[in-house]
Amino acid sequence: MEMEDALYADANDKIRLGEELKKSLVEFEQIPGVSKVQRKIQQELKFLEKVIRTKTLKENHITSSNFVNYEFLIKTLRLQQGVVDINAVFPLESRDSPLRVDIVANNGLKWIKVIARNSKSIEDAAKGCVSFGARSVLDQASDYLEASELHFCMFQRPKVVFYFSNKIDSSLHDELKEMGVQTASLEEPDLDVDQYATISNELNLDVTTLLAYVSALTNGGCNFVFKEPLLTEQAEKERECPVKPILDKIFQGKRLVCCQLANDAFQNILSVLGGPSERALANELMKRVTVYPDVETIPPEFSNLRFTANVNERSLKIFSFGMARKIFTVTSNKAFVRSAKMQGINVPVFVHASRALTEGKQANAKAL
């Protein structure tokens, strides 16, 4: 009876942990893949609640729980910069099923696998002491490295880091290091490069970035309630998280360029919607930006990209300009990036929040 009581107590502890994990993930809900983790946690919670309610709880229901792994995933996630995906899928030629990368961080430049198993089982598996079909961390490391060679990000191979919740043997650490996999833990995280670091010294500016940088919203004019709900929402978000400091950090030490098409679109929008201060800011900004001719041919990376509601000729040419020069594009056009990704194309970008020109709307807005 005491053993049964202890078992149900452990199950209730697991449920409390699951509820805490759900709350912890709320702040990361905007990251692709997080919603799937939330659903898996909820499914496991429902199962535990059911076996407790129907008095059918068994020990393996607790020992097989994934909550410890999810807890370590979230703790590792908190240490990372520029997280762009969770449980990301990458096709691998040597496997029938795609590789799933636990965390894609540093704007795609770092792939992380989190391993919450005990040290003995990890080391035994590495020595071949596993059941048929089970994969050791060395096998997983080979998969990650193979996939990283096939899926360059921002014109370079992503760094592979394995995070361990428990200390591993130094020989296994050395073997992984020799393969090209970095090991880390919560106590000794990997040393990250600046999430805005790039190989090239140039940045391609999309028209959305040019507009955001000179918008009255990002230059002290966000304390308004506009007649247009979208502008009011952008003003609220700007008060919470100013965009210009983010852009300034991305621009730091970089040569700014754009294509003629982006410049023409920017100037046309300014002439119609821009206020006097926004136009003055635009003149100052364009002194820092070198304008080049548009690309004449679409680069191979985009050659099979289909036109959709989010992929039009203008956006394709602007992003193609950056791709052809092998440089990052700075943009708030998340729809294009998402649509391209759904078609299997990873666009090298820095994405920021959208900001419209609002100076001309201030006269009819309510000041806060």
Residues 322-342 have pLDDT tens digits of 999 989 999 999 888 888 878
Q: pLDDT tens for residues 205-227?
A: 999 999 999 999 999 999 999 99
* Residue 14, pLDDT score: 92
- How many Cα atoms occupy the beta-carbon half-sphere of 137 within 13 Å? 34
Q: pLDDT tens for residues 241-280?
A: 999 999 999 999 999 999 999 999 999 999 999 999 999 9
Residues in the chain: 368
Mean pLDDT computed over every residue of the chain: 89
**214-244: burial string, b at 16+ Cβ within 10 Å, e else:** bbbbbbebbebebeeeebbebbebbeeebbb
Residues 107, 164: Cα–Cα separation, whole Å: 22
* Residue 94, pLDDT score: 79
- Residue 339 sits at the vertex; the CA angle it makes with 337 and 342, to the nearest 5 degrees, is 110
Structure-token pair, residue 315: 């956006």
What DSSP string runs through 10-43?
A: HHHHHHHHHHHHHHHHGGGTTSTTHHHHHHHHHH
Q: pLDDT tens for residues 114-155?
A: 999 877 777 666 665 655 556 788 989 999 999 999 888 777
Q: How far is CA 6 from CA 10, 11, 59, 246, 347, in A?
A: 6, 9, 10, 51, 52
Q: How far is CA 307 from CA 73, 154, 298, 322, in A?
A: 37, 23, 13, 18
Residue 190 has what DSSP assignment? Answer: P
Total-model pTM: 0.68
